[in-house]
Amino acid sequence: MGGSEQDSRRVVIGMDPHKRSVTIEVMDAEETVLDKGRFATDDAGFAAMRDYVSRFGDRVWAIEGCNGIGRHVALRLLDVGEQVVDVPPKLSARAQVFATGQGRKTDATDAHSVALVGTRMSGLRPVVNDEPLTILRVLADRRRWLGEETPARSARSTRCCWN
């Protein structure tokens, strides 16, 4: 398989993220595994990972848990112009059981499951950098907490003073 042939095909890069490392698997539309690797999440590892997959021109990153542990890597990829979709952990877990026939979890099998879901499923949620929305959510949660806390505090002080 020549390098130019790989450049013309759309690939899905399935990723199993962790705090200090990520495991990836590159898969084409026919579910052929083209490459795989493990990279650190520091600046050098992130650059090495991007360089490693740069030969695949038309690519989309499918990352497990973009609202959780995968968020830091997903946002970094968005910042450099990559296309990222979120793979819910339940979907990748189902794919893992069906693909392997058992539920054994390793980083490589997790990355494979995520790549399978990214290849097979349409309608996965695209990840966007919604930092302003996140800030508004934090402020709304704080306001709600303060609203719930104030009456309780007032009731405690009333009981204290009148008893």
Per-residue pLDDT of 110-122, as tens digits, reads 888 888 888 888 8
Query: Which pair of structure tokens corresponds to residue 129?
Result: 């950098």
- CATH top-level class for 3-129? alpha beta
Q: Give every CB contact of residue 130 below 8 A, 6+ residues apart in sequence.
A: none
DSSP at 112? H
Q: What average pLDDT does range 32-46 have in this prediction? A: 95
End-to-end CA distance of the chain: 84
Contact yes or no for 117/98 (Cβ under 8 A): no
Strand partners, 60: 12
pLDDT digit string, tens, across residues 86-98: 998 877 666 665 5
DSSP at 124? P
Locus of tokens 């949620």: 125
Residue 126 dihedral angles phi and psi, to the nearest 5°: -65, 140
Locus of tokens 């399978």: 116
Query: Which pair of structure tokens corresponds to residue 43?
Result: 């600046």
Q: What is the mean pLDDT of the chain?
A: 82
Q: Of 50, 57, 100, which is closest to residue 79 (Cα–Cα)?
A: 50
